[in-house]
Amino acid sequence: MALMTEVWITAYDAPTAQIAVAGGADGILVGDSVANVVYGLARTAEVTLQMMLPHFTAVVEHAGDLPVVADMPAGTYDTPEMAIQTAKCIATCGTKYVKLEGAKPAIIKALIDDGFQVMGHLGLLPQTAQKLTKVAKTEAEQAQLVADAQAIANMGCERIVLECVPNEAALAVAAAVDVPIVAIGCGAGLSGQIRVMHDVVGLTENPPPFAKAYGNARAEMVRAVADYVADVQ
């Protein structure tokens, strides 16, 4: 496991990118979670590349020196050729660092060979999961998780997001690969953590159980609007 501690957070527009910078985050993911927290869609798989492109551009322009990773939307990287085409489209927004879900070593290798940086994503895969719950709970599933992590790390992934797996499984993955493991809902002891901006600041109405809120932005914004309405009235 790489000896480092990274704090990643999502951002989707100029204000959230600026907040990430001012708050001291180490990196920004323009996540396909924009489907849920910005567009109010039920699943991340519902957001399209065309919907995400303006978000990539806005964040890159306001992220300062922070690395910006762009989530590749569902259905845009099913083959190496499709993945490269998608990544080139994303690159026009200002970043050549992309994230994709699943153990897809051939696609990852093709992207890296074409000059892109890649962040992997294993464990719970929201784009294809039937329900959002902890995965890799059996010994066999955990062994496969380790093997998948090794496969994509060997292809050149710079980091791997690991979502919603038991802490012992996450630590086993971290011990098996020499790239940072950025966890979400996997407990402590890993190279870094990543969270959705709206969950962190308390703007999400129904956040996942592992997503600790460090503020109450929703209540404060409701109060401010109510005060404005009262003033005008």
Whether the pLDDT of residue 190 is over 60: the answer is yes
Contacts of range 175-182, beta carbons closer than 8 Å, 24 or more positions apart: 175/1, 176/146, 176/149, 176/150, 177/1, 177/149, 177/150, 177/153, 178/1, 178/2, 178/153, 179/2, 179/153, 180/1, 180/2, 180/4, 180/6, 181/1, 181/149, 182/6, 182/8, 182/119
pLDDT at 1: 41
Tokens, residue 214: 């460090």
pLDDT at 4: 57
Backbone phi and psi for residue 99, each to the nearest 5 degrees, phi listed first:
-125, 140
Whether the pLDDT of residue 165 is over 90: the answer is yes
Interval 30-71: pLDDT, tens? 999 999 999 999 999 999 999 999 999 999 999 999 999 999
- The SS3 assignment for 54 reads helix
- pLDDT band at residue 3 under the 50/70/90 scheme: very low
Residues serving a catalytic function are: 163
What domains does the chain contain, in order, with CATH numbers? 6-232 (3.20.20.60)
Give the range among 103-117, 142-156, 177-191, 203-217 with minimum mean pLDDT.
203-217
| Mean pLDDT score, 132-150 | 96
